[in-house]
């Protein structure tokens, strides 16, 4: 694992997260209406002390179907209070009784829809997080929060992507170097994702260290905000610079795989130089069947709010796009020691 530099200088104070599950609350936002009819039952579930996959299996048991017939958009942290959608495929069947399945979760709403819920089918997540035992100046925290809201933060992949003590990266290296053969498709996907994420973080860390992670540079590949649409900007002009400054466009970094890098000039040289420091991942990911893609380097923090409900206690609320990590935002706010969450879906 590499050291990930802060974008806005080291945080001004520290604090404690997750003193209780209620201190970390997450709510999914799907961004589209449900039909009200169809063979898929969509369930709005609140859970606490339970991971997403375990809840999906309990729903399948209640419906008398296989676990594969239950879908969800993304994993949510076990050590939090989270609200998210599940879809249950019930062709020709009525809904079972969804009440009182288990004390660790509850079905708050059931709505029929014509399609299943697919991974990543979110517009974002809303977070409400309490930070306790603040050590430092609250005014400095408020100023830092204003900076984060105004400028965004580096869109690093969170530590949870890499497994406990970076174990997924170690397994990825063993797998891609031919030392270990991984037959399980799910585990193989986790290891490949970890390797790809490590290369992205390394490129982003280099650009943060050089001070241009959120600026238009020659040879840049830009992504349109709110989409995955990208285009090359070999020579940036003032219009593009203004659109980057206005959050309409974002600089991107590589999600490594087969194919040519879309970047050019100095940015391509930077990306190739960083990737050369990880030769097993650089060479192994294309062979494993992954293709070159891009991810925004900048994470926009929307609907940002900060309050101090008690002495030495802060509460932050914000919204992030799907695929982003709350811990990435909290790291810029209160520094290292932020515990991992699972509030992002795989790209």
Separation between Cα atoms, residue 286 and residue 259, nearest integer Å: 8
Where do we find the tokens 């992205």?
A: 200
Helix (H) or strand (E) holding 215: none
Where do we find the tokens 């589209």?
A: 32
Active site residue 77: yes
**The two three-digit tokens of residue 5, written as one number:** 């530099």
Secondary structure of residue 81 in the 3-state scheme: strand
Q: From the candidates 35, 77, 104, 135, give the one annotated as an active-site residue.
A: 77
- In sequence order, the 6+-apart residues with CB closer than 8 A to the CB of 187 are 171
Separation between Cα atoms, residue 226 and residue 248, nearest integer Å: 9
β-sheet bridge partners, residue 222: 231, 251
Cα dist from 318 to 24, 289, 300, 321, whole Å: 12, 36, 10, 10
- Transcribe 89-150 into DSSP letters: E-TT------SSSBTTEEEEEEEEESS---TT--SEEEEEEEEEEEES-HHHHHHHHHHHHH
Catalytic site positions: 77
């Amino acid at each position: 694992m590499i050291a990930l530099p802060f974008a806005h200088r080291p945080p001004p104070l520290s604090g404690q997260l997750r003193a209780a599950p209620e201190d970390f609350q997450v709510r999914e936002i799907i961004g589209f209406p449900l039909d009200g009819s169809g063979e898929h039952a969509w369930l709005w579930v609140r859970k606490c002390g339970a991971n997403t996959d375990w809840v999906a299996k309990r729903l399948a048991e209640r419906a008398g179907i296989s676990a594969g017939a239950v879908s969800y958009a993304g994993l949510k942290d076990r050590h939090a209070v989270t609200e998210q959608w599940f879809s249950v495929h019930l062709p020709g069947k009525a809904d079972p009784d969804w009440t009182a399945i288990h004390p660790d979760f509850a079905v708050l709403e059931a709505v029929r829809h014509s399609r299943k819920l697919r991974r990543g089918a979110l517009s974002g997540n809303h977070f409400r997080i309490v930070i306790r035992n603040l050590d430092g100046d609250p005014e400095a925290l408020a100023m830092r929060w204003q900076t984060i809201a105004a400028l965004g933060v580096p869109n690093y992949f969170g530590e949870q992507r890499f497994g406990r003590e970076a174990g997924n990266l170690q397994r990825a290296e063993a797998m891609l170097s031919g030392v270990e053969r991984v037959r399980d498709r799910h585990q193989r996907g986790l290891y490949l994702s970890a390797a790809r994420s490590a290369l992205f973080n390394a490129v982003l860390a280099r650009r943060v260290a050089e001070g241009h992670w959120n600026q238009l540079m020659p040879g840049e590949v830009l992504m349109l905000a709110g989409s995955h649409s990208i285009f090359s900007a070999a020579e940036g002009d003032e219009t593009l610079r203004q659109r980057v400054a206005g959050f309409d466009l974002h600089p991107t970094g590589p999600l490594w795989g087969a194919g040519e890098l879309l970047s050019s000039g100095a940015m391509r040289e930077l990306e190739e130089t960083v990737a050369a420091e990880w030769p097993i991942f650089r060479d192994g990911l294309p062979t494993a069947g992954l293709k070159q893609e891009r991810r925004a380097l900048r994470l926009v923090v929307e609907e940002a709010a900060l309050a101090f409900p008690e002495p030495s206690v802060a509460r932050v609320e914000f919204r992030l796009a799907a695929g982003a990590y709350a811990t990435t935002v909290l790291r810029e706010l209160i520094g290292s020691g932020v515990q991992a969450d699972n509030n992002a879906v795989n790209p």
